[in-house]
Amino acid sequence: MNFVNDETFPEPPVIIHVNRDRCDGCGLCVDVCPDFALKVIDSHTRPGKKIVRVESTKCHGCGVCQATCPKEAITLPGLGPDDLREYISQAING
């Protein structure tokens, strides 16, 4: 297995973006975040539903949450789901 390093991975963005229309508040991203930057909260726009909130001061833009989200509701500026899949493929296949 190869590792994606600082030379191949884009500069870390400031914070992730959560698409509130796609996020269902499952919390998988919360479980894997190494910086404890994510929290499941009640949705203000969808009564009775949950959503993930980002604590921007804790997020370092590592992308683990984006890679984990089954709804593709999390994105990093400059690193879309297809880009992330390509980095994972490079890491696995070399």
Class of domain 17-93 (CATH, top level): alpha beta
What pLDDT band is residue 1 in, cutting at 50, 70 and 90? Answer: very low
Extract the tokens encoding 89. 């493929």
pLDDT at 84 over 80: no
Q: How many whole angstroms separate alpha carbon 61 and alpha carbon 33?
A: 10
What pLDDT band is residue 52 in, cutting at 50, 70 and 90? Answer: very high
Average pLDDT, integer, range 14-37 = 92
pLDDT at 64 over 50: yes
pLDDT at 21 over 50: yes
Which letter does DSSP use for residue 92 in this model?
Answer: H
- Reported in sequence order, the residue ranges of 1-93 that DSSP labels E, i.e. its strands, are 17-18, 38-42, 50-54, 74-75
Model confidence, pTM: 0.72
The domain locations on the chain are 17-93
Can you tell me which residue has the tokens 């963005």? Answer: 13
Contacts 24+ apart (CB under 8 A), 82-86: 83/10
